[in-house]
Each structure stands twice: as C-alpha cells, then as structure tokens.
Amino acid sequence: MRILVTGGAGFIGSQFVRGLLTRGTDQVTVLDALTYAGNPANLAPVADRPGYTFVHGDIRDAGTVDEVMPGHDAVVHFAAESHVDRSITGAAPFVSTNVLGTQVLLDAAHRHGVARFVHISTDEVYGSIDEGAWTESQPLAPSSPYSASKAGADLLALAYHRTHGMDVVITRCSNNYGPYQYPEKLIPLFVTRLLDGGRVPLYGDGGHIREWLHVEDHCRGVELVLHKGRPGEIYHIGGGTELTNRELVDRLLAACGADWSRVDHVADRKGHDRRYALCSDKIRDELGFVPQVDFETGLAQTVAWYAEHREWWSRHADR
Ligand SMILES: NC(=O)c1ccc[n+]([C@@H]2O[C@H](COP(=O)([O-])OP(=O)(O)OC[C@H]3O[C@@H](n4cnc5c(N)ncnc54)[C@H](O)[C@@H]3O)[C@@H](O)[C@H]2O)c1
C-alpha cells in the first residue's frame, strides 16, 4: 500500500511511520511542515528504509498537496497544531492548520481518487464528562480552541463522506504517552524538568482525570482502522489507564527520584476540562483492538527513554 502520512515528523505520526517502515510492507510518504513540534530526528531510525519519501511541505498549501497526493492508496492525517495551552494564547494557527489544512487534504484526496482517508482526532472534541464514558454518537461540545478546531475538522471529514461518498474514517484517541513527545506536554515536560533537577507546574487542584494510552497502542488502533474500519465511521481508541493528574504526578516523581517539594501549584488552565473518558467497545468488538502496553511498564520505559535521550530534548526552549 502507498500511504501518505501527514504530520509524520511529530510524536504520534513518527511512531506510526517508524512502525510501518520497520515492517517494510508499505511505501510511505511523509508530508510535514516541520513546525516547532516536527523533528526529522524522530524519523532518523527509518530514514534509510526503502519506500520512504519525506516531503517538507504545509498541508494548507494546495499546490504542494496536489503534487504529493497522486499515486497514494490512503491518507493518514495526523498533522495538527496539538497543544491546548498554545491554542488559548493564539488560536489562529489551530484554525488554519486543523480546519483549513484538513479541507485542503480532503479536496485533494477526493480529486485524485484516493481510496481511503483516515482522519486522526481526539477525545477532547466532546468537552468534559463527570461520570461514565462517551460513545461515538456523543454530540461534540469542545471547550478549547484546539478541541474546537479538531471538531471542525471532524465535521468536515464526515461531510466529505456524506456529500462525495469519500471513504473517510475518523479515530478519536485519549491522551498518549511514550518516547519522542515534544516536551511541552505534561509527561515529557515533567520528566525532563525533574531529570534536570528543576521544578514542575501542576494546574489547579490536580484532580483532572485523563485516560493514558501508550503511543504504540494508539498506532496499532489506527492501523486496524486503516485496514478494516467501515467508511464514514468513527472509532474511539482508548482503554488505557484513568488517572487524576495528582496520581500521574505521584508516579512521575517516584520514577525520577523526586518528591512533592518539586511541584509548584499554579492557577488552573482556562476552560480546563475536568474529565475525559472514552467507551472503546466499538473498536474492540468490530476490529479486535485491545491495548497491549501495561501502563506501569510503558511509563517506566518512557521515563528511561527521556533519561537516555537528553540530546533529543535538551535544546527545546519550551521546557
Ligand atoms: N498527543 C496526544 O495525546 C493526542 C491524543 C489524541 C489525538 N491526537 C491527535 O493526533 C495527531 C498528532 O498529535 P501529536 O501529539 O503527534 O502532535 P505533534 O504536535 O507532536 O505533531 C504534529 C505534527 O504535525 C506537523 N504539522 C503541524 N502543522 C502542519 C502543517 N500546517 N502542515 C504540515 N504539517 C504540520 C508538525 O510539524 C508535527 O510534525 C493530532 O491530530 C492530534 O490532534 C493527539
């Protein structure tokens, strides 16, 4: 299969590409603008593999997308502005990349008759849930400019399916963790600062609840959806470990040999969703998805990876 992966130099996209190219059964083109979050080093382990092409380009650039698209059997669309805090201080790149960029890709995929379009989305499009878990039919109620832009992209993708009959499938995943995550997100931010002997900021009372899934499990779910998902459907990818941020920070402190004296309690994030929870019965029952990475093991390996790859993260100013 010839697969066009957008955002393949980012955290999750690069995991997906490394997995595909290591197995060696597919040809992969990465289209990535190399924003602050995109890093060619994330793809270095597979850069010499046959069937791999890297295109440095922006998904909002219709000319570039039109040149790159022909000949691909599928698009797997990860490219996005992905950090909620950045969307609160400046929403414009989120709307332009996440909404308009998705529209440019959908148009080109439709025009060139690409057989399948997998749009990667997030649990954050639903807003917040006090108890229970969302199913795929839950109405969207995003809280942040980030999640609103992802919701807009999701609706566009579904509209291209209904209007043009395009074979579009959407995945919505919970919080990911693992190696190669840009150190602005909670786990790599805390781990890299703690490893450096620094202090870490915990939002509000730390009672916010997230479901954590290893990035390898997310990518396994995306591959299942790519090959077996039904056109026009949405699939949750969850089934990870539900923790309050305090519980997570407890584990991170222990893993880095630190204690709560290193934690600064800071004002809560504006509009901070209290809890996310996905019902993942559909992908389990239809496609046989079961997460494979145990959280304690995955977290220990993740902390070890950051400890061993200081050169990868130490240059980042955001830390
Ligand atoms: N990180 C999570 O926990 C999580 C959870 C659920 C869903 N998602 C979704 O998964 C996808 C990937 O997330 P991530 O954490 O890997 O993000 P990331 O920020 O690490 O990577 C995003 C990638 O997209 C590229 N990019 C950004 N704007 C672009 C543009 N205009 N044109 C081309 N490339 C561009 C960046 O250079 C980068 O390589 C996103 O769509 C995100 O919404 C993430």
Instruction: State the average pLDDT over residues 250-270.
Output: 96
Residues 6+ apart with CB under 8 A from 199: 193, 262, 263, 264
Whole-number Å distance, alpha carbon 82 to ligand 1 midpoint, is: 5
Closest by CA to 245, choosing from 186, 303, 297, 185, is: 186
pLDDT of residue 240: 83
Question: Exactly one of 52, 126, 146, 177 is catalytic; which is it?
Answer: 146
Residue 248 pLDDT exceeds 70: yes
Residues 6+ apart with CB under 8 A from 297: none
pLDDT digits (tens, 9 = 90+) for 5-63: 999 999 999 999 999 999 999 999 999 999 999 999 999 999 999 999 999 999 999 99
List, in order of start, the domains of the chain with CATH numbers: 2-176+214-237 (3.40.50.720), 179-210+241-274+294-313 (3.90.25.10)
pLDDT of residue 317: 66
Candidate of 4, 12, 18 to mutate for ligand 1, largest count of ligand atoms within 8 Å of Cβ: 12
pLDDT of residue 315: 80
Average pLDDT, the chain: 97
Residue 319 pLDDT exceeds 70: no
Closest residue CA from atom 26 of ligand 1? 79
Rounded distance, CA 109 to CA 92, Å? 25
Atom of ligand 1 nearest to the CA of 42: 39
Active site residue 124: yes
CA 167, 232, 87 angle in degrees (round to 5)? 100
pLDDT of residue 316: 78
pLDDT digits (tens, 9 = 90+) for 108-145: 999 999 999 999 999 999 999 999 999 999 999 999 99
Rounded distance, CA 277 to CA 106, Å? 29
Residue 179 pLDDT exceeds 80: yes
Whole-number Å distance, alpha carbon 6 to ligand 1 midpoint, is: 9
Residue 318 pLDDT exceeds 80: no
Instruction: State the average pLDDT over residues 222-227.
Output: 98
Rounded distance, CA 118 to CA 16, Å? 13
3-state secondary structure of 207: coil
Closest residue CA from atom 5 of ligand 1? 175
